[in-house]
């Protein structure tokens, strides 16, 4: 079993009001030196079987058509190792 992570972020030219709200709040909370915040989404997909080129292509299609609005968002797809649970 493998985990595939899809990270979705607004394109740099798109206004990010949630990120701006967080950025403005940070100094009031005592966190200085943060000049910009962008907010995004992370999807973790557990995949049965091997994550080969065909599986990655299907997940890329899934991300492009369902998880991200590609007009205003970019996304990345990456495979993460899953530690086996102790038995």
Range of the domain at 23: 2-80
What is the CATH number for 28? 3.30.1280.10
Per-residue pLDDT band for 84 (boundaries 50, 70, 90) equals low
Query: How many of the other CB atoms lie within 10 Å of CB of 55?
Result: 17
In a domain, 85, yes or no: no
> Are 23 and 34 spatial neighbours (Cβ–Cβ below 8 Å)?
yes
- The total of structural domains in the chain comes to 1
Backbone angles phi, psi at 23, to 5 degrees: -60, -40
Task: State the average pLDDT over residues 23-46.
Answer: 96
Provide the whole-model pTM: 0.84
In a domain, 56, yes or no: yes
> Are 77 and 6 spatial neighbours (Cβ–Cβ below 8 Å)?
yes
In a domain, 86, yes or no: no
Residue among 1, 2, 3, 6 at smallest CA distance from 60: 6
């Amino acid at each position: 079993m493998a985990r595939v992570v899809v990270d979705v972020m607004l394109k740099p030219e798109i206004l990010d009001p949630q990120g701006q709200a967080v950025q403005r709040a940070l100094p009031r909370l005592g966190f200085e030196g943060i000049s910009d915040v962008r907010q995004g989404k992370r999807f973790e997909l557990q995949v049965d079987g091997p994550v080969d080129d065909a599986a990655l292509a299907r997940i890329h299609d899934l991300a492009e058509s369902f998880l991200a609005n590609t007009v205003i968002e970019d996304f990345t797809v990456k495979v993460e190792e899953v530690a086996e649970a102790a038995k």
